[in-house]
A = this chain, B = another copy of it.
Amino acid sequence: MINGAAADPALKGRPAHRLVDEAAPQLRVTDLAATRGDGVFETVGVFEGRPANLSPHLERLQRSARMLDLPELDLEVIAQAVDAAITAHLPVPELLVKIVVSRGVEGQQRPTAWVYADAASSYASARAGLRVAALDRGIPTTAPQTSPWLLAGAKSLSYAINMAGLREAARRGADEVLFVSSDGYALEGPTSTLLVKQDDCFVSTPVEAGVLPGTSLGAIETMVEGEGMTLERELLTPQQVADSDGAWLLSSVRLACPITHLDDQELTVDRELTERMNAAIANRG
């Protein structure tokens, strides 16, 4: 259930958040979030009451807003609303907090924003391992440079394709998707970042290829560098992912989930390393 929804403001020069009734409808049917998927969002993992990697999430929200030509966001007000939503929720070990900024109600030229907290589902099965289907994402890794209006790498509310990808994966008997660019490179999951281990080097997809900047990667980088390894940005093919020493889909609430299978190919899984990674992501403030 929602708890501690904080509706509206979050934009420069506007008043701070206000708490609203979680059970009541809050949005007009003409809000562009609902009519055009026209807005941006973030989902933050909250562990024992502490939001993990909040700064990277807020920075990415601002980045997405810029890519969609939305007004500059007041990240301080949003951070306060995140705190308020967490405080208003019953204390549970794992929460998710969703931050949404919409272009606003049609015709009003005034963005709307809201934040809500919800108890996280159980991700025990996903954290044990994912069967992943590789699916064509249609566009090439050059799209951000040649066609910025395709919004590759913006976390917009227009996620119908991401959701359709997950349904296609389920039809194939898989739990998750690894999107592949039309020029043949592994990109990211519909709601997750790809991380691959090759010997002592971890690799994630370059942001320039049109993926979201993974908000957990900073925590991973600190951890692997502390262990004498490195984190690089490099384009890999799905075959290179399958042949690696381990691969994960990282997301803020579900954390690092090892890929056990990419289509029909079985991957190496290191449970102990996965646990250390998850501790690193969840503990980072």
Residues of A within 8 A of B (CB): 2, 5, 7, 24-31, 33-39, 41, 68-69, 98, 100, 102-103, 114, 116, 118, 135-140, 143, 146-151, 154, 156-165, 167-168, 182
CA distance A150 to B167 in the complex (A): 12
CA distance A138 to B148 in the complex (A): 10
A31 touches B30 (CB 8 A): no
Q: A25-B26, A29-B116 are in contact. List 14 more A-B contacts (CB 8 A).
A: A2-B30, A5-B29, A25-B25, A26-B27, A27-B29, A35-B98, A36-B37, A37-B160, A103-B163, A135-B147, A136-B146, A136-B150, A138-B147, A157-B158
Residues of B within 8 A of A137 (CB): 150
Residues of B within 8 A of A151 (CB): 160-161, 164
Interface residue SS majority, chain A: mixed
CA distance A164 to B149 in the complex (A): 5
CA distance A25 to B27 in the complex (A): 5
Other-chain contact of A36, B36, B68, B139, B157 (Cβ < 8 Å) = B157
Closest partner residue, chain B, to A114 (CB atom): B29
B149 touches A161 (CB 8 A): yes
A160 touches B160 (CB 8 A): no
A100 touches B38 (CB 8 A): no
Other-chain contact of A157, B35, B103, B118, B148 (Cβ < 8 Å) = B35
B149 touches A100 (CB 8 A): no
Given A27-B31, A139-B138, A146-B136 in contact, is the A157-B156 Cβ separation under 8 Å? no
Minimum Cβ distance to chain B for residue A42 (Å): 12
Minimum Cβ distance to chain B for residue A18 (Å): 14
Closest partner residue, chain B, to A170 (CB atom): B69
Residue of A37, A98, A150, A157 with highest tally of chain B CB at under 10 A: A37
B41 touches A35 (CB 8 A): yes
19 contacts between A and B (CB under 8 A): A5-B29, A25-B28, A26-B28, A26-B29, A29-B100, A29-B116, A33-B33, A33-B35, A35-B41, A35-B157, A36-B157, A69-B164, A103-B163, A136-B150, A139-B182, A150-B161, A156-B160, A157-B158, A182-B182
B158 touches A37 (CB 8 A): yes
Given A26-B29, A37-B37 in contact, is the A159-B158 Cβ separation under 8 Å? yes
